Amino acid sequence: MVTAVTASPAAAFDPASCSRLVVKIGSSLLVDSDGAVRREWLAGVVADIALRRAAGQQIVIVSSGAIALGARRLKLEKGGRASLEDAQAAAAVGQVALAGVWEALLGAEGLTAAQVLLTLGDLEDRRRYLNVAATIARLLDLGAVPVLNENDTVATTEIRFGDNDRLAARAGQAAGATGVILLSDVDGLYTANPASDPTAARIPVVAALTPEIMAMATGETRSGMGSGGMAAKLLAAQMAGAAGIALAICDGRVDRPLTHFSQAGGGTLFLPPRAAKGRKAWLAGRITVAGTITVDDGAVAALKRGASLLAAGVTQIDGDFSRGDVVAIVGPAGEALGRGLAGYDADDARAIKGLRGDMQAAVLGYAPRAALVHADHLVLI
C-alpha cells in the first residue's frame, strides 16, 4: 500500500484502503468573510461525503465555524476572538446554527447528522476517551454521520484543544479511523511561506516528521478566522502518525474538494511511521502531562532499544505527579522522547533519581519496583 500511496497520496484515503475517514473543515472554508455559512460549497462537500458513504466508507466530520458564525450574530469584534468570554459566547450561539446547517445538508442527501461536542478532558482521561470511542462507533454502526467540534463554550484556556486540527487527529484515533483529511485554505505544507517566498515548493509526501519539517510551519492562519495554522496541523500529523493514521492537508478552496483530492491529488500526505496500538497510542497522543522526567544519554539509548526507564538514568524530576499519572520523558537537552505512566509518586522518584537498583531500598524504605516507567507503559514519540 505504501507504494501506491507514494504514487498518489489521495489513494490512501480512498474507500478501498480507508474504511473510516475523518474530514475536518476549517472555519475559513465554512464561513465567508461576512460571517455567513458558505452553503453552496458545503453542499458540495456533503455530496462528496454521500458518494464516499455509498462506496462503503464511514465518515466522521470535524466541523469548525461555531465561533465565526456566532460572532456575526452577536456582532462581536475580531471574529469573536477578542477574549475567551467572547469566544465562548460566540460558540454557544454559533454551534446551534452550525448543527442546523449540517442537519439540513446531510439530510438532503438522506444522511443523519449526530452532534458530538468534546472537551480536551473527554479525550485525555482514559475512561472518558473509551466512552467517546464507543459512542462514535455506535453512531457509525447506526448509519449516522457524527459531526464533532470542541465544546468551546465550557472549555477553559488551560484545558482546551483550541484548534480542531489536533481534535481531528485525536478523534480519528478514538473513531478507529485509518485516515484524516484536513480541508484547509492552504493546499499543503510548503518548504517556506509561499506568500513571501517564490521558491517555496509544496511537499507531496512526508515520511518522517523531522525537526526540519516541523520548522517549516509559520504558525499563522491565512484568514485569521480559525485558530489552526500550519503548526497545529503538523502536531495533528504527529498525533495521527503515532496512532498509525495517515493524515492529509488538502486544498478545500475548490468545489467538491474531496472528489478533487481523489481525482487530482495534491496536498501533503503524512505517512504514519508506526502503528502503536490501543493504550500506547492513546498515551502518545496525550496533550496534558502531570510532570516531566529528564534522562541522560545512556537512558535515551536504552529507551530507543525498547528498555524500561530505570531511575539510574534519570537526572531530573519536575512536577507533582502520583504513581500512575502520565509523565513526559525528555532527553538531556529537553527534547521530547515519549510519554509514560509513572511507576512512583514524584517525591519518591526524586529520592531515587540517579541511583542503581541496589541503592534504592535504603532511600525509599521499601523494596523498589523494577523501573521508574515500565516499558509496557511507555511510548516513544
State the residues that interact with ligand GLU by CB under 6 A.
Answer: 27, 64-68, 149-150, 152, 163-164, 226-228
CB 112 within 8 A of CB 146: no
Q: Among residues 139 and 148, whose Cβ is nearest to ligand GLU?
A: 148
- Among all residues, whose Cβ is closest to ligand GLU? 226
Q: Which is nearer to ligand GLU, 252 or 368 (CB)?
A: 252
Q: Which is nearer to ligand GLU, 228 or 313 (CB)?
A: 228
Identify which of residues 46 and 117 has a Cβ nearer to ligand GLU in the complex. Answer: 117
Shortest Å, Cβ 155 to ligand GLU: 9
**Nearest distance from C-beta of residue 129 to ligand GLU, angstroms:** 19
Min dist CB 156 to ligand GLU, Å, is 14
Nearest approach, Cβ of 228 to ligand GLU (angstroms)?
4
Q: Specify the DSSP element, H or E, that contains 356.
A: none
Q: Which is nearer to ligand GLU, 268 or 360 (CB)?
A: 268
Minimum CB–partner distance for residue 239 and ligand GLU (Å): 14
Task: Report the DSSP beta bridge partners of residue 62.
Answer: 24, 148
Q: Which three cell numbers stand for residue 227?
A: 485558530
Whichever of 150 and 348 has its CB closer to ligand GLU, that residue is 150
What does the alpha-carbon distance between residue 327 and residue 123 come to, in Å, rounded to a whole number? 16
CB of 150 to ligand GLU, least distance (A): 4
Work out how close the CB of 105 gets to ligand GLU at its nearest, in angstroms, rounded to a whole number. 17
Q: Are 349 and 374 in contact (CB under 8 A)?
A: no
Q: Reduced to 3 states, what is the DSSP secondary structure of residue 184?
A: strand
User: Distances in Å between the alpha carbon of 237 and those of 57, 115, 225, 309, 365?
Assistant: 21, 24, 21, 27, 45
> Per the structure block, which three cell numbers stand in for 69?
458564525
Q: Cβ(168)–Cβ(180) under 8 Å?
A: yes
**Minimum distance from CB of 65 to ligand GLU (Å)?**
5
Rounded to the nearest 10 degrees, how much is the dihedral formed by the CA atoms of 24, 26, 30, 31?
160
For residue 307, give the amino acid letter.
Answer: A
Smaller CB distance to ligand GLU: residue 71 or 302? Answer: 71
* Nearer to ligand GLU (CB atom), residue 123 or residue 309: 123
Report how far residue 58's alpha carbon sits from residue 62's, in angstroms, rounded to the nearest whole number.
Answer: 13
Amino acid at site 292? T
For residues 65 and 248, what is the distance between their CA atoms, to the nearest angstrom? 20
Strands (E), 37-133: 58-63, 112-118
- Count CB neighbours of 367 within 10 A: 7
For 148: left if phi > 0, alpha if psi spans -120 to 50, otherwise beta; the answer is: beta
Quick one: which of 158, 288, 182 has its CA closest to 234? 182
- Provide the edge-to-edge strand list for the sheet that holds 58-63: 112-118, 144-150, 58-63, 20-25, 179-184, 246-251, 268-270, 205-206
Of the pair 35, 226, the CB lying nearest ligand GLU is at: 226
CB of 35 to ligand GLU, least distance (A): 12
- What is the closest distance, in whole angstroms, from the C-beta atom of residue 91 to ligand GLU in the complex? 6
Extract the C-alpha cell encoding 128: 472518558
Nearer to ligand GLU, 164 or 360 (CB): 164
